[in-house]
A and B are shown apart, each in its own frame.
Chain A
Amino acid sequence: MLKFKLLTCQQVASLASDYLDNCVDGKLNFKIRVHLMMCANCRRFVKHLKLTKEVAPKFINEQQPVNAEAILQRIKQKKL
């Protein structure tokens, strides 16, 4: 018999980033893991959030190039 109140999906969804970033304490971490063992929807939600956290920054690193030379010229003009 469980001696604590189970988390709801809404609570797990709110805490998912904290869980992935290891920002939840041991007791809460355990409660989240118990919920994930029992809930396929939340397992998928956390898995997709983890994938997003991993993939999105790689896409963004390839965003539009910066015209660094023009910026450097402006810096030098401003210093004159």
Chain B
Amino acid sequence: MTTSPPSTYMDNMDEQAFITALIAGDDRAFCEIITRFQHTMLSIARAICGDTFADDVVQDAWVAIHNNIGKFEQRSSLKTWVITIVSNEAKARLRRESRRISLEELDGEAPGSYLDGNNFKSDGHWQSATPMWNCESPEELLEEKQLQHCINKTLNLLPPAQKAAFMLRDIEQQSFEEICEILQVSAANVRVLVHRARLTLMQVIDRYQETGSC
């Protein structure tokens, strides 16, 4: 089995030419959007309808996208269109299975996290100094391959709603309003989910700076 080539096809043409190729049924362009959005789509599906149905939902969403790509009118960005389709598929699946999964219930505060009350004195100030980092520039941090492994491993261990909210906000750069619509949670809850995910990833960097491992 071969994996898809690196994302060069999309990079080598402007967005309009790429979308034209996609609408015309170009398989290579379609592979490119699968590569680009598969992880985000799985995260959204897991957050909305849980692990059991997520793979099926994403597969159905890809079939819907493939069937309808010729009708894509570009009234929204390709990313928004794709994300909306998987979100709608996941919500429909959830209704069919007659299961309500509360995102807030799924994603509680992890004990020992930065916001844990034990980290603060009774007057609300830090119990101890926040850790120093040896490496404080993005460029230096990005050179750490082991840290990349730690971050990816931790991302996959995040509760589904936190992971989806983080991916939609910090990777896909969606607005909070769009994320509320996609995940069907309040704006306040989306912000809490994103904050918790970032804090967990920040703790990974803390640990890495201290010990050199995950």
Contacts and interface: CB of A to CB of B under 8 A. Distances in A.
B168 to A, nearest CB: 11
Name the prevailing secondary structure of the B interface residues.
helix
A75 B66 contact: yes
A11 B35 CA distance: 40
A61 to B, nearest CB: 7
Contact of B3 (A10, A42, A55, A67): A67
Given A16-B195, A67-B4, A75-B66, A9 B202 contact: no
Contacts of B2: 67, 69
A70 to B, nearest CB: 6
A11 to B, nearest CB: 7
Chain A residues touching B, majority SS: helix
Contacts of A18: 191, 195
A51 to B, nearest CB: 6
Nearest to B66: A75
Contacts of B45: none
Contacts of A51: 133, 136, 138, 141, 205
A10 B124 contact: yes
Interface stretch (B24-32, B46-54, B74-82, B92-100): B24-32
In which size bucket is the chain B interface? Answer: 35 or more
Nearest to B193: A17
A72 B27 contact: yes
Pick the most buried of A52, A66, A74, A79: most chain B CB atoms within 10 A of its CB: A52
Contact of B142 (A53, A58, A64, A68): A58
Nearest to B30: A72
Interface string A46-80: 01110111111111111111111111101110110
A25 interface: no
Contacts of A59: 142, 147-148, 151-152
B4 A68 contact: yes
A76 B67 CA distance: 10
The 5 closest A-B pairs by CB, nearest first: A8-B124, A68-B4, A17-B195, A68-B31, A68-B34
